[in-house]
Amino acid sequence: MDYRTMFADVRRRPGSYGLGGTFREVSAFVNGCDAGNSWGLLIGFREWLALKLGCEANLTWPGLILKLANVDASLHPSGSNLSATEEERAVEVLFAELDEFLSARKGASDISRILEKYVRQNS
């Protein structure tokens, strides 16, 4: 399955996938896709996000997305009760980062490069 295409479609038409378009719903949908792929779809995604933030990957990927979207994750630890502006920004950042990550990570060697870069940065 081409997840980049599917996620682009979810971004455009969340209602077609039974989603209201909130950050929590979209995150749960993406986690479901990862689970349906034996947790292999998003290998390296947390590290990818941590590299962008210049931090360690000690948060969940939704928490890292909130940080990238400049949403105070301490006020919204589960991505709930976001303002409309924060919701929109968080969802946009999530889909943009997913697309960039999946584009860069086409095979096992690409995953290894992402993880190796993360380890070098945090050693």
Q: Is 18 exposed, middle or buried (0-12, 13-18, 19+ CB in 10 A)?
A: exposed
Task: Tell if the pTM clears 0.75, that is, is over it.
Answer: yes
Per-residue pLDDT 10s for the chain (123 aa) are 799 999 999 999 999 999 999 999 999 999 999 999 999 999 999 999 999 999 998 889 999 999 999 998 677 666 778 889 999 999 999 999 999 999 998 777 888 989 999 999 988
